Amino acid sequence: MKTSVKYLALVFAFVATAFTANAEDKETKKSAGFGTGIYATTKGTIRVLVEKVNTEANTTIYLRNEKGNIIYRETVGKNLQQFGRTLNVDDLSAGKYQIEVICNGEKQSKSFELAAPKMERTLLVK
């Protein structure tokens, strides 16, 4: 009985140590980069939020069309740890687009599609 209790305690200690080491490893990987939030607003614009872990590198935001051509490009200085941008897409034609955020060699991207506006027909009977 004593042996099984000691064995269980040893296994528990080993699992706890492995879990802690794994959690620290994930935090280290997470802290090496940056986080983004890219979403559409109710006003029809796209909001891009960036939070960097460190301020050692510039951050570049690209908006590309489906052919890969750059429609919009902005480089944000390395001193800003958090920032946000609102992209107005009213003047873009219908099609597929991609937003890329690049910082310190890491890239996060999100794609979206703009549909052609539906034409409304009005019928007047006189």
Res 49: pLDDT: 92
Q: What are phi and psi of 77, to 5 degrees?
A: -60, 160
Res 28: pLDDT: 37
Res 98: pLDDT: 96
Res 33: pLDDT: 75
Structure tokens at 89: 């897409």
Q: What angle do CA 111, 114, 72 make, to 5 degrees?
A: 60
Q: Where are the domains positioned within the chain?
A: 34-114
| Distance (Å, whole) CA 108 – CA 102 | 7
Q: Going residue by residue through the chain (126 aa), what tens digit of pLDDT does each one get? A: 444 444 444 444 444 444 444 444 444 344 357 889 998 988 888 999 999 887 888 999 999 999 999 999 999 988 888 999 999 988 889 999 999 999 988 999 999 999 887 777 777 787
Res 84: pLDDT: 93
Res 67: pLDDT: 95
| Distance (Å, whole) CA 64 – CA 97 | 6
Map 70-116 to HEC letters: EEEEEEECCCCCEEEEEEECCCCCCEEEEEEEEECCEEEEEEEEECC
| Distance (Å, whole) CA 99 – CA 76 | 15
DSSP 124: -
Where does 34-114 sit in CATH, by number? 2.60.40.3080
Res 34: pLDDT: 86
